[in-house]
Amino acid sequence: MIRELSDPTNVLVPPAKVDGAADLKSLQSSAGFMVGNADRLAMKFFHFSLIEQIVRPAAGDWTQLEFAARGWDQMAVALGATADNIAAGAAQIPAVWQGEAAEAAGRMVVDFADLHKTQSDGCHLLAEQLRHIVEVSKAAGETIATGLSVINDLLMQIAAEAAAVVIGWVVGAATAGFKAYKFWSWVQKMLTAIQRVMKVIQLVMKVVGVVKKLMGSLATIGHSAAGGFMDDTARVEFGVG
């Protein structure tokens, strides 16, 4: 009788929830004041919408990416355990079956185990790539949060100077060039940060495409608990599906 080493379905449970209380909250809180007066001032003085060009493109619940990554990690563990079970089964064949057919079956089973190991590695790779997006997004969020804060203060100064009669225009004229440079400098930093995130996502999508092709043979376990979990995880994609 051939026995399994472990039950892979034990890990096929929903991933632990991600505590994203601190992640990108600075961006969200900074974006709060942009909804009103500051965004209107940016449009008035610089004809640039901070909400449309910065806040909305950077918005997103990146904790869902970590949640999806955990799902792929668990799938990798399950596939790895399945590979170990299959490999162990191959080693047990000679005790219950002898002959050329048994040897051929053993080689086929070993190949099947290797396939599952490759699929496990692919799941780990997907999880790593998702976490790479998370890290780049966090760094971008910090840059954007700082930029929004600096720009908010800058716009308030410009508005206050413009509101003052005579003195306000004198001060404003003396500092207008520097403030415009500072405004556009921070806008460029924030746009660059967003572009970095988009570039990483595009690269990771290519990796996902390659890994999915590699894992196409998972249909062999499509009716098992592992196959069902794989389908559910795949539908999540980048945690936003």
Q: Is residue 19 part of a domain?
A: no
Q: Is residue 201 part of a domain?
A: yes
Write the pLDDT tens digit of every residue in 175-198: 678 888 999 999 999 999 999 988
pLDDT at position 193: 92
Write the pLDDT tens digit of every residue in 75-94: 899 889 888 888 888 888 88
Q: Is residue 70 part of a domain?
A: yes
**CB-based contact 39:156 (threshold 8 Å):** no
Residue with tokens 């500051």: 38
Q: Is residue 67 part of a domain?
A: yes
Total domains in the fold of the chain: 1
The CATH code of the domain that includes 205 is: 1.20.1270
Which domain covers residue 225, as residue numbers?
30-234
Q: Is residue 7 part of a domain?
A: no
Q: What percent of the chain has pLDDT over 70?
A: 73
DSSP string, 173-229: HHHHHHHHHHHHHHHHHHHHHHHHHHHHHHHHHHHHHHHHHHTGGGGGGTTSHHHHH
Contacts (Cβ under 8 Å, ≥6 apart) of 228: none
Query: Which of 3-17, 124-138, 176-190 is predicted least confidently?
Result: 3-17
